[in-house]
Structure 1
Amino acid sequence: MRVCEMNWMQLEAYLERDDRAVIPLGSTEQHGYLSLCVDNILPERLAAEVAEPLGVPVFPTLNYGITPYFAAYPGSVSLRVETYLRVLRDILDSLARSGFRRFLLVNGHGGNSPAQGLVAEWTAEHPDCQVLFHNWWNAPRAWQEVQRIDPVASHASWMENFPWTRLTGVQLPDIQKPMTDLDRLRLLAPARLRETLGDGNYGGLYQRPDEDMQALWNAAVQETRDLLQHGWLPQPDAAAQERA
C-alpha cells in the first residue's frame, strides 16, 4: 500500500502491528528510446505489487540517483555521491524515529550502489534495525529469467522495455545492437561516452514480446515478495534485550 494513499493515523496504527517499510530507489536518466524515468517506474511499480498483498507501506520513490556518466544526455539528472548518501541516511533516520525497524530498499539503478556501503554503516549504528538492499533486475531469480529469455541484455535494451516504460508513438529499431565494451565505457567522460554509445542502449534487442516481459516481471515480483516476507533475521525478544 502506497503511503500517498494513507494518512499519519493509519500509519501509526500499522506500526502497532508491523515495522516493515519499502523504499524504492531510482534515477532520472537516459534510457534510449524508453522513458527517462525507467529506473523510477520499475522499482516503484514492483514495490507496490510486492507489498500490496502483505499490507506493507511503500514510500515515494527517491527519483534522483547517481548517474554522472550520462551528463551529456538531456534530462539525465545526477546527485553527488555525498548528497545521495546524506538524503538516504536522512530518510532512514526519519523512518526509524517513527518506529520502523525493517527496511527493504528496492533499487532500480546500478549507479546507486554506493548506498550499499551506507546501509552497512547505518545498520551498525542502529543495531535494532535491518535494511535489505535489493537490485531487483540482477537478483538471482530475475537474472536467471533474463538469461533464459535472451542473455544479450543491458541498459535501455529489451530487458527494461515493459509496456509501462515504453513511449506511445516512438518506433524502436528492429535490430540487435552489438554489446558495448562496458569496461572501456566506464573510462569515458560524458561527451565521449555519448559519442561512443549513441542512442543509449548498451547492447541487445530493443524489444521482445510482452509474454517474455511478463515472465521476467513475475519472477521479479515473486523474488522480491519472498525477500520482504522471509529475508529478515529473527528479531530479539524485548525482554531478553532488557536483561542483556
Structure 2
Amino acid sequence: MRVQDLNWEGVEAFLRRDDRAVLPLGCTEQHARLSLATDSLLAERVSVEAAEHLGIPVFPALPYGITPTFTAYPGTVSLRVGTYLALLDDLLSGLHAQGFRRLLIVNGHGGNSPGQGWLGEWLARHPDARVQWHNWWNAPRTWAAVQATDPLASHASWMENFPWTRLEEASGSAERKPMVDLARMRQLPPAGVRALLGDGNFGGLPGRPDAEMEAIWQEAVAETRELLEGGWAS
C-alpha cells in the first residue's frame, strides 16, 4: 500500500502489528526517448505491486540520485555522494525512530550504489534493524529473464521501455544500437559522454513487444515480493 494513500493513524496502526516498510530509490536523469523519471517510476511501481497483497507500506520513491555523468543532458539532476548518503541516513534513521525495523530498499538506479556500500555503517549503529538493498533490475531471476529475451540490454534501451516509462510524443530510431564502449565513456566529462552516446541509449533496441516486457516485469515483482516475505536475516 502506498503511504500517500494513508494518514498517520493508518501507519501507526500498521506498526502495532508489523515493522516492515519499502523505500524505493530512483533518479532523475536522461533515458534517451523514455521519461527522465524512468528509474523512479520503475522502482516505485515494482515496490507497490510486490507489497500490494502483503499490506506493507511503500514510501514515495526518492526521485534524485547520483548521476554526474549525464548532467550535460537537460533535466538530469545529480546529488553529490556525501549529500546522498546523508539523505539516506536521515530517511532510514527517521523510519527506525518511528518503529520500522525491517526495511527493503528497492533501488532503481545503478549510480546509487555508494549507498549500498555505506549501508553496513548504518546497520552497525542500528543493530536491531534489518535492511535489504535490492537492485530490482539485475536481481538474479529478473536479469536472467532479461538476458533470455535479448542479451543486448542496457541503460535507456528496450529493458527500461515499459508502457509506464514510454512517452507517446517521443520518436527516434528503431534500429539496434551497438553497445557503447563503457571503459571509454567512464573517462569522459559530461559533455564528452553526451557526444559519445547521442540520444543516451547505451546499446540495444529501443523497445520490444509488450508481452515480453510484461513477462520480465512479473518476474521482477515476484522476486521483490519474496524478499519482503522471507528475505530477512534472523
Where does residue 84 of structure 1 map in the other structure?
84
Alignment of 1:103-182 (within 5 A): 103-182=103-182
* CA distance in 2: counterparts of 1:95 and 1:61, whole angstroms: 14
Deviations 1:9-44 (A, max 9, x none): 111111111000000000000000000000110001
Percent pairwise identity: 62
Indicate if the aligned counterparts of 1:2 and 1:57 stay in contact, CA closer than 8 A.
Answer: yes
Aligned to 2:218: 218
Number of residue-to-residue matches in the alignment = 234
Is 1:23 the counterpart of 2:23? The answer is yes
User: Take 2:108 and 2:18, find their aligned partners in 1: how far apart are those partners?
Assistant: 25
CA distance in structure 1 between the aligned counterparts of 2:149 and 2:161, rounded to whole angstroms: 14
2:48 aligned partner: 48
Whole-Å separation in 1 of the counterparts to 2:155 and 2:47: 20
Map Cα deviations across residues 113-170 of structure 1 (whole Å, 9 max, x no partner).
0001221110111110011000000010000000000000000000000000000122
Distance (whole Å) between structure 1 residues aligned to residue 10 and residue 199 of structure 2: 46
Q: What is the rounded CA distance, in whole Å, between the counterparts of 1:167 and 1:131 in structure 2?
A: 34
What does residue 241 of structure 1 align with? none
**Cα distance, 1:70 vs structure 2:** 0.3
Cα separation, 1, equivalents of 2:65 and 2:129:
24
CA distance in 1, matches of 2:106, 2:50: 10
**1: distance between equivalents of 2:35 and 2:113?**
22
SS of equivalent to 1:18: coil
Q: Which residue number corresponds to residue 242 of structure 1?
A: none
Whether the aligned pair in 2 keeps the contact of 1:172 and 1:207 (CA below 8 Å) is: no
Give the ranges of 4+ consecutive aligned residues of structure 1 lying more than 4 Å apart after TM superposition. Answer: none
Name the residue aligned to 2:68: 68
TM-score, normalization by structure 2: 0.99
Instruction: Please report the RMSD computed on the Cα atoms of aligned residues, expressed in angstroms.
Output: 0.7
Partner AA of 1:70 in structure 2: F
The equivalent residue for 1:58 is 58
What secondary structure, in the 3-state scheme, does the structure 2 residue paired with 1:133 have? strand
Quick one: distance in 2 between partners of 1:91 and 1:57?
15
Cα distance in 1, alignment partners of residues 68 and 28 from structure 2: 11
How far has the Cα of 1:52 moved from its partner? 1.0
Decide whether the 8 Å contact of 1:107 with 1:133 is kept in 2.
yes
CA distance in 2, matches of 1:55, 1:230: 15
DSSP-derived class of the 2:76 partner = coil
**Runs of at least 5 residues in structure 2 that lack an aligned partner in the other structure:** none
Please give the alpha-carbon distance, in whole angstroms, between the structure 2 residues aligned to 1:170 and 1:108: 22
Are residues 1:9 and 2:9 paired? yes
Amino acid at match of 1:123: L
* Residue 191 (structure 1) aligned with residue 175 (structure 2): no
- Structure 1 residue ranges without an equivalent (≥5): 235-244
